[in-house]
Structure 1
Amino acid sequence: MKTSAGFPKIALSVALFACSSILLGEDLGVVGPVYPIAEQDMLVTIEQRLKALEESGELARIEEDAKARYKAYVERPEGVRLPRAQKNRTYYVDPSLTVPYDIKDHEGRVIHPAGTTVNPLDYITLSKQLLFFDGDDPVQVEWARSMIEKNPTKIKAILVNGPVLALMREWKIRLYFDQRGQLVERFRIEGVPAVVNQDGKRLEVVEYSLSIPE
């Protein structure tokens, strides 16, 4: 048998013997002592842990803490802090978007193939003004409330930050919240308060400086 330089013949023989035994299914006997699997069933472990937490009162504390955190989030969702607009600014936004996948109708027919650019304003109309404001800024809150009272059926008020449910209870109207600032990013809003209107197939965005009389 020919082997490569430096490789002991006995080692190669042992390796070949082991391989042939495995391939032929030969019983090589017991190499060492065999023990049963000692790991506890995962579900049993979880149940025991939950029982211990319940008996100690820790589970109830965890549940109350989770409820409190959920309530706090609902009262004040995650928004964005934008500066108060320093000057009046008007600009326009094209809401067109490129669909990443096929858009189908209710019968499964493709109406917009993936990669198609679609303008939502070709199909819908923005029936109300979108008023964005910071609920933690008393000046903006007062301005927004005044605007809503003047045009209650024409404005959809959207907080970018602040206690949305508290204001809803106080004003007794429905308010909306721009979670994580997705809409202000889409409309490129840099300062609040701001109002969005439809202007044909585009959107008009007006940022208002409350320090400048309108």
Structure 2
Amino acid sequence: MMRMQMMRKLRCLAWFPCLLAFLLLPGSVHAKEYACDVTIPATVQVSGDRIPSGEVYEVVMEAITKDAPVAENMTQKVLNSGTVSFGQIHYTVPGDYQYKIYQKSGSTDRFTYDKTVYTVTVRVQNDAEGGLTAELWAVKEGTTMKNDAVQFQNHYDAPRNNGGGSSHHHRTEETVTYTTVIQQPPAAIGAPRTGDAQQPLLWGALILLTLSGSMIIVGKMKKYYC
């Protein structure tokens, strides 16, 4: 009688790891979220000698496609130089979505501002796992070539130091802080984030541990039975 009760308990315990794995693996019984998130980077670089510090550049993104999802902040500011990102932009419907990205022209003396306008296309499609995925590319206005980055190249034309001028002018030049510009490659338009938050390696390890626990319990059941 006691042995039969022990067998029943062990059978119940054998099912427990499987039930735990089932509860901890929602991705195994639910389809991938029907959505994807996209981030669109834009890089501002500056060339020239003795570039004054503190120049702020404004990069603007505007939706061309009607009712296209947009980023929370559609105007980004860059201090001296660097990369900004528009996103996360959340998509729930397949289709082509187009945006215009450009740089506002400033008014600081001796700066030449890149007036390039990019058209960025985000193509959202169904994927093989029941979710959405996207591919991105940028095209400069007036061209047809696809670019993998949005980049603005500004220039500063430093004044010539001819040794002349008044002492007042000389003192003014001495108080100017200059920017050390390190030219870095522009950030490429990367792959989007899908709505699937599963971590396959983690879940695989959990399943193996669950099966191992079940096998140990089954082994004990056989021992008691024999």
| TM-score normalised by length of structure 1 | 0.22
Between Structure 1 and Structure 2, the one with more strand by share is 2
Between Structure 1 and Structure 2, the one with more helix by share is 1
Find the structure with the greater CA-based Rg: 1
